[in-house]
Chains A and B, each alone.
Chain A
């Protein structure tokens, strides 16, 4: 023990006496770089806290039961119709987009190595980048004007669906790609057809990751405004169950229009709507992450 300590001390002495010295400019640069790195993270964290805090603080006075029981009226009222509309359109878009998106994802992961698969993947990646207002405008000229649906629930849902498709396809593809090849081989080796392998082996295994993707997709569609402005329109009343020729209200519209009114009452409603969307979106994202973590822990094998 004693010799070891001496050895160690010798090394220390030697290195401080003859080891290379880090030049002052390098040390100063490093210190500044560290400060920049820490500050840039703090900047991001501050922005997040500032957005959430701003919305919560200003929405607080408006968070009354009235929001849930009354419909919007001119400059005030509640948000019952908007909450219902956001719910109807998110769920509707999910119901349309999930089957198509999941099948596209299955195709990409199981047959996506060929030329057609590559093209499809590339185009779906490009589709992700299309601005949502452009989707909304195309929805307007095709469905609202050409098909004569007017501002309607169906036009809004279909526009949102086109927006969600590539996201769902991508998350499904990644989820399936994480399942080892051996699992597929075992399935085919037992004589199962492709449909059976995908439906009874791969999809259950990838279910947590796919569900996470679906939760993210709903969160995305909840927070969208631009594609709905010209497709879903706006309505002060509850939805009457009609899919065409009947506009519908939604929360994000309230945020945008009510903040432009000159009344404190409308501003409070706008912040209350923003609060509801933000909490909804963040809760969906957190549930999605939790599902993924839990699924990975349970399955163990398929690292997502």
Chain B
């Protein structure tokens, strides 16, 4: 029998992809194992990230060496990550749907091509440039003008009142994240709207609905699965976004936001900003605890992406 050399070569190179995913999880799990043992489940639910007294002598707790007073709890990161992403989704979803409708059916075809460049190119801008834009333009604008105004005008709504802060914080992060994920949602949705059977739309039109009503009552319900799938996919992106959030979130430590202007930090931004100080820990426990943060973030995004892909796969969209 002849060995199919070409196919074997294909399979072996293609297996790099799943192997890299599995090795990512395995390496992180192995490396953070001492931290997992030391922190147990308190890691997720407690709100206390403290490297301990870095000038003291290491003490032995639960059989592992740590600095005196060291505690690792990331509840504030869990809250910051989830709340900022959820808020970003809340801002992004309606706008993305509106923009997708505008570009697929709202304008004539010859205009839609050039106009959709705005959306497509927005998706291509590097995240650090988003961060720079947020830092240099949004933070002063929001902090000095918009947040104080909003906080004063809507002082009767909980979470919108209180100290408007400096501009670095939850709402600014959510806004930047929203601008980053709008093009993702919008692009897929635009294609799906175009792919929807024209017969359905024609049937709606013949019943006397206008174009927007057809979209709202017929096309959009039909695309529900796609919408949810793409939404979750964008959520995954927002959860893992690092640089943009790092530059506008205010990098709060052990602090839970009490209104939408308060500084926060997310897991991804925390990993990026804390390694330098974690390296000061001679027992290496801080670096391993950071690795545990990365593992938690990895597992969250894997679950989120898994769900999204499953939904999209069921809706036959890729």
Contact = CB atoms under 8 A, between A and B. Distances in A.
Interface of A: 20, 26, 30, 33-34, 36-41, 43-45, 47-48, 50-51, 54-55, 58, 99-100, 103-104, 106-108, 110-111, 119-120, 122-135, 137-138, 140-142, 162, 165-166, 169, 174, 193-195, 198, 216, 219, 222-226, 229-230, 252, 255-256, 259, 270-271, 274, 277-278, 281-282, 285
Contacts of B247: 256, 259
B5 A195 contact: yes
Contact of A51 (B24, B102, B133): B133
B294 A138 contact: yes
B243 A226 contact: yes
B195 interface: no
B7 A278 contact: no
Contacts of A193: 6
A43 B13 CA distance: 43
Interface in B102-159: 102-103, 106, 115, 118-122, 124-133, 135-137
A31 B20 CA distance: 51
Contacts of A47: 122, 179, 182
A134 B240 contact: yes
Contacts of A130: 21, 24, 240, 298, 301-302
B6 A55 contact: no
A36 B97 CA distance: 10
> Is the contact region of chain B dominated by helix, strand, or loop, or is it mixed?
helix
Candidate in A26, A33, A270 with the most chain B CB atoms within 10 angstroms: A33
Nearest to B240: A131
A133 B272 contact: yes
A230 B126 CA distance: 18
A223 B129 contact: yes
Candidate in B4, B16, B275, B291 with the most chain A CB atoms within 10 angstroms: B16
Given A33-B212, A120-B18, A131 B99 contact: no
Contact of B102 (A30, A41, A123, A224): A41
19 contacts: A40-B96, A47-B179, A48-B121, A103-B13, A104-B13, A119-B18, A120-B17, A122-B309, A123-B21, A129-B304, A131-B240, A131-B268, A165-B17, A225-B242, A226-B272, A230-B275, A271-B132, A278-B129, A281-B126
B132 A226 contact: no
A120 B4 CA distance: 20
B126 A277 contact: yes
Given A130-B298, A134-B294, A138-B24, A194 B7 contact: yes
Given A126-B21, A169-B17, A55 B129 contact: yes
Given A39-B98, A259-B247, A124 B17 contact: yes
Nearest to B15: A120
A277 B10 CA distance: 34
